[in-house]
Amino acid sequence: MIGKHIRHIKRYQEIVSVLVKYGFGYIVKDVGLFHLLSLPRQIVSDFSGNGNDQKSLGQRIRLMLEELGPTFIKLGQLLSLRTDILPEQIAEAMRGLQDRVTPINAQSVKQIMQQEFGTAVTDVFAQFDEQCIAAASIAQAHHAKLITGEEVAVKIRRPDIESVVENDIEILWDLASLVEKRYEWARTYQITDLVEEFSLAIRSELDYTMEARTTEKLYDFFKSDVNVIIPKVYRDYSTAKVLTLDYVHGYKYEELINRPPKDVSNKIICERLVRSFLDQALICGIFHGDPHPGNLFFFPDNKIGYIDFGQVGHLNESMKRDFGNLIIGLMKGNTELLFRTISTMTVMPDDLNERQLKGDLEGLREKYYRLPFKEVHIGKVISDVFAVTKKHHIGIPKNYTLLGKALITLEGLITSLDSDTNILELAEPYGQRLLIRRLDPSELSKKILMNGYDVVENSMRLPSLLRKTLTHLYKGKTRVEMKLPQLEVLLAKLDRAANRISFSIMLLSLSIILASIILGETFGSRSLITNVPIIGIAVTIVLFMFMIVLLSIFRSGRF
């Protein structure tokens, strides 16, 4: 940790200063980063956290993340999905995070592309527009035309963004571990696991070979569906830092709302939008994680197009089954199925109150049981499920929260386009298909065979594992690990108490020394050093030592 402080000391100081600026100085002090502030800031800043306007908490967090730059903006965008952790008003504020960046100049863009392709831009593209069509904190896009004539969009990663992100991730790991040691809620929600999830997500977003692979999978999945357009990836013109795809341009979402074209039916568009998304999630197993209006295009004959697959979710067969079970459990009023499904698809805390959780799930069941699909809104269902999991400190894996957020976004879009379209009504056939597939004899036989194989495999390993365990016990090599989550807090309190005792002793010592000097000068015999201002010198030395100790205690942040 000390090494990280030294390597990134300037960035640490910047982050700590911004935390204090937006009213989170008490966290800085609690986790022991007080000493990174300048002395004037230490003196004038409020570290109590009592003077903050709680109503503006979400706004302050959003402004703070925007000021800290691209890594923290991306972190906020991830956290905006986590309504299982954050209050809805804070998550909502996070969704307003903006990438306020200046586009890379044309010369830098050409230099990056020349490094990636090993040749000049003019040798690769017949036409390349220097003015970017979109700019964000990680990349920007340009319109171009290949020598073979295809119209393309070229996505270029910003220079040095990888080192910026990697440095910030190291600091985030450090901060997360400090916060977990200090706060119970941080341990409950496993903040370090959240940072790990975030680091994997942003690293994959930085690598365009992964986005290219995902886009190609969905392109192949929809290639026989003329009503869904996924841009083609041009591999020969793409690298880890540059991604070249078909240039997709059609009607924007705002046009469908404000100036509906005559060759487009909003009702058909909504149905195809929902079905294409459910096809991605529940059949293909890869879905667009951010289907907001900027990532969608619409075409004559009610065709739809998706762009920008930097943020995607993945559902394997068991995750699809669990998601289906969740909806079936709510619609069929099966509390036991709901409980089993949530147990399977989430991370349950050790101190979970099962009876209370089942009671809350029973409340959800009563709310939605026997309601017609047209009266049930998927966004409200997801929000209610997240509210229950948050109440019981149940961790939801990223892909489920991403799916939930995408469905909520999608429902908002189709409600504005056609209020009669209902996601759950269109999803019912998918649920039935998943149920029929689950009961298919071939699927059941596969499951039985796999479970039987696991039983046999584990049974064969049992003797060797038992022998190894007994050997370790016999040799005294068995290690017992104990977790004492409050130990760091206790040590901090002891450190604070020791500092106060030291301060008191220094005050007492100063008083005794001064009293002794004064008594000696007043009643003692005269000597050769009578004319030396001994009281002044002694007081100066003692005060100097006193100030050194006091400053040391003050800078530790534990007084």
pLDDT digits over 189-209, tens only? 778 888 888 888 888 888 899
Which pLDDT score is estimated for 529?
Answer: 46
Q: Output the DSSP codes for 334-347.
A: -HHHHHHHHHHHSB
- Provide φ and ψ at 155, rounded to 5°: -100, 120
**Token representation of residue 245:** 């795809």
Which pLDDT score is estimated for 45?
Answer: 64
Amino acid identity of 557?
Answer: G
pLDDT digits over 127-149, tens only? 999 999 888 888 899 999 999 99
Q: Output the DSSP codes for 273-311.
A: HHHHHHHIIIIISEEES---GGGEEEEGGGEEEE---SS
Average predicted confidence (pLDDT) for the chain: 80
Which pLDDT score is estimated for 267?
Answer: 92
Cβ within 8 Å of residue 324, ≥6 positions away: 282, 430, 431, 434, 435
**Token representation of residue 24:** 């989170």
pLDDT digits over 223-281, tens only? 999 999 999 999 999 999 999 999 998 999 888 888 888 889 999 999 999 999 999 99
Q: How many residues does the chain have?
A: 559
Percent of the chain with pLDDT over 70: 75
Nearest to 349, CA basis, from 136, 472, 189, 242: 189
Task: Tell me which of 482 and 324 has the higher pLDDT.
Answer: 324
Distance, in Å, from the CA atom of 424 to the CA atom of 93, rounded to the nearest integer, reads: 27
DSSP H or E run through 134: strand 134-135
Task: Tell me which of 104 and 245 has the higher pLDDT.
Answer: 245
Which pLDDT score is estimated for 344?
Answer: 86
Which pLDDT score is estimated for 464?
Answer: 74
Amino acid identity of 305?
Answer: G
Which of 71-85, 88-102, 137-151, 479-493 bottoms out in mean pLDDT, i.e. has the lowest? 479-493
Distance, in Å, from the CA atom of 223 to the CA atom of 229, rounded to the nearest integer, reads: 8
Which pLDDT score is estimated for 2?
Answer: 47
Which pLDDT score is estimated for 44?
Answer: 55
**Cα–Cα distances in Å, from 123 out to 109, 114, 143, 276?**
15, 10, 16, 38
Which of 163-172, 255-264, 296-305, 376-385 bottoms out in mean pLDDT, i.e. has the lowest? 376-385
* DSSP state, residue 84: T
Taking the alpha carbons of 278, 279, 284, 290 in that order, is the dihedral positive or negative?
Answer: negative
- Provide φ and ψ at 243, rounded to 5°: -130, 125
Distance, in Å, from the CA atom of 199 to the CA atom of 372, rounded to the nearest integer, reads: 42
Q: What pairs with residue 155 in β-bridges?
A: 141, 243
* DSSP state, residue 240: S
Q: Output the DSSP codes for 169-217.
A: HHHHHHHHHHHHHH-HHHHHTTHHHHHHHHHHHHHHHH-HHHHHHHHHH
Which pLDDT score is estimated for 300?
Answer: 92
Cβ pair 75, 196 in contact under 8 A: no
b/e for 449-475, b at 16 or more Cβ within 10 A?
eeeeeeeeeeeeeeeeeeeeeeeeeee
Which pLDDT score is estimated for 428?
Answer: 76
In the chain, where are the structural domains located? Answer: 101-249, 252-439, 449-480, 487-556
Q: 3-state DSSP call for residue 143?
A: strand
Most confident listed range (26-40, 152-166, 321-335, 542-556): 152-166
Distance, in Å, from the CA atom of 242 to the CA atom of 248, rounded to the nearest integer, reads: 17
Cβ pair 124, 237 in contact under 8 A: yes
Cβ pair 269, 417 in contact under 8 A: yes
Taking the alpha carbons of 177, 183, 184, 186 in that order, is the dihedral positive or negative?
Answer: negative
Amino acid identity of 385?
Answer: V
Q: Output the DSSP codes for 405-442.
A: HHHHHHHHHHHHH-TT--HHHHHHHHHHHHHHHHH-HH
Most confident listed range (97-101, 186-190, 410-414): 410-414
Q: Output the DSSP codes for 486-522.
A: THHHHHHHHHHHHHHHHHHHHHHHHHHHHHHHHHHHH
Long-range contacts formed by 24-30: CB under 8 A, 24+ apart: 24/49, 24/64, 25/49, 27/179, 28/557, 29/557, 30/182, 30/183
